[in-house]
Amino acid sequence: MKKIFFASLLMVMVLGATAQTKTLYDFKATTLDGQAFDLSSLKGKKVLVVNTASKCGLTPQYKTLQELYDKYKDRNFVIIGFPANNFAQQEPGTNTEIKEFCTKNYGVTFPMMSKISVKGDDIAPLYKWLTLKTLNGVVDAEVQWNFQKFMIDEQGKLVGFVSPKELPNSEKITNWIEGKKTN
């Protein structure tokens, strides 16, 4: 009986570890221009993954995201924007319209991906990984609204997230980028 218990426990541990072996680098995306974007190209960088929307009260965060990107892009840091229409239909545009809006209104130069779903039955695989502890090994983090920010380390592992209303240049995010310890 003990052998069966320990064999079952070992199997659960192995399966649990296997489920948590994926990293950001196992995913691919498509840019707003329709180009394939292999997220493994970001190896060695800290990555801030953000779901965005053009018609949201939080849309002005694009400006702060761009400022953050400009400040840290030469320090192995990148922001990846993922437009999503999951909240109150606040991203109704096409990929072309989204690109035009971001460029014209906020001068966005950080990589923007094509529109995806960040919750629900049609959730994109990347966001499924980001939001489920059973897959990311860190935390359950259902996307609450537009502009939720996920922090990924240089090995492609999720290290945490920041709520939509917390600004991209918050102390939590800047300390993480700069490698400072926080309480």
DSSP 62-97: HHHHHHHHHHHTTTTEEEEEEEB--STT---S-HHH
Which residues does 29 contact at the CB level (< 8 Å), separation at least 6? Answer: 37, 39, 80, 82, 113, 114, 116, 126
Q: What angle do CA 18, 121, 89 make, to 5 degrees?
A: 130
- Separation CA 70–CA 91 (nearest Å): 25
Structural contact between residues 136 and 19, judged by C-beta atoms closer than 8 angstroms: no
Structure tokens at 106: 């906020």
Catalytic site residue from 19, 30, 56, 144: 56
- Separation CA 21–CA 131 (nearest Å): 15
Reply yes or no on whether 56 is catalytic: yes
The residues carrying an active-site annotation are 56
